[in-house]
Amino acid sequence: MITIFAEKPDVARKIAAAIGPIVLSDGTKVYYDALAKYDKRIKAEFMKQGYIPIKWEGKDACVTWGVGHLCGLCEAVDYDPDYKNWNNIDLPFIPNPYRIKVIGHTSSQFNIVKKLFNSSDLIINATDWDREGELIFAYVYEAAKCKKPFKRVYYASQNDEAFKEAFSKLVDAKDVKDIENAGRSRSIADWLVGVNLTVAATLSGGT
């Protein structure tokens, strides 16, 4: 099985219809140009289960999604419960190693994605083609403790032809590692500044 991971549900529906099509419970085949017509039925049938099953190049595939970020860096209190009281934090606080966690309100969708990832022969990362998109996928892949191979798809536009063309020439995971690393570095830098300066400023102000 192949799992395709999109950043958001609406993009997942577009991808599934473009390379699928989407097959409804009554057998209706929904292609990209009919998405608007069948959107309510697609949502009713597939949103709760968290993925859309399709056939892609003759193989079983599932198109699933995040809701933006499903995972993020742990907070200071996740490293030590005593840090709930900011006075107990020895600044600057620099975790080693940095840990990630599932964002609470996204846990149900994360569990669906995790199961799909670890049941797959191949995963295709179909998030946005930038540092943030790479980071969203990388954190989910890591939190899922997944070891399955994955590739990257780059679509220049979100339309039928662009999706079809993009999925005909997947990119190797190693070729986007630098973008992922840039995303991780940016995330850590924001975390370090945000946590340490917030705690320092709050404590120095006596609030």
Average pLDDT over residues 10-23: 98
Question: Is 100 buried (19+), middle (13-18) or exposed (0-12) by CB count in 10 A?
Answer: middle
Average pLDDT over residues 171-176: 93
Average pLDDT over residues 183-202: 93
* Nearest 10 degrees: Cα torsion 58, 110, 96, 187: 80
pLDDT at 2 over 90: yes
Q: Does residue 52 contact residue 62 with C-beta atoms inside 8 Å? A: yes
Note the pLDDT of residue 206: 55
Q: Does residue 31 contact residue 13 with C-beta atoms inside 8 Å? A: no
Quick count: other Cβ atoms within 10 Å of Cβ 77?
Answer: 14
DSSP state of 8: S
Place of tokens 């009554």: 26
Question: Is 113 buried (19+), middle (13-18) or exposed (0-12) by CB count in 10 A?
Answer: buried
**Measured distance between the N- and C-terminal CA atoms of the chain, rounded to whole angstroms:** 54
Query: How far is the C-alpha of 41 from the C-alpha of 174, rounded, in Å?
Result: 38
Which pTM does this prediction carry? 0.94
Query: How far is the C-alpha of 130 from the C-alpha of 44, rounded, in Å?
Result: 31
Q: Kind and range of the H or E element at 22?
A: strand 22-23
pLDDT at 205 over 80: no
Beta carbons within 8 Å of 140's beta carbon, 6+ residues apart:
5, 66, 70, 71, 110, 113, 114, 117
* DSSP β-ladder status, 22-23 and 150-152: unpaired
Q: How far is CA 17 from CA 11, 20, 67, in A?
A: 10, 5, 19
Q: Does residue 92 contact residue 33 with C-beta atoms inside 8 Å? A: no
Q: What is the pLDDT of residues 79-96, one digit of tens each?
A: 999 999 999 998 999 999
pLDDT at 194 over 80: yes
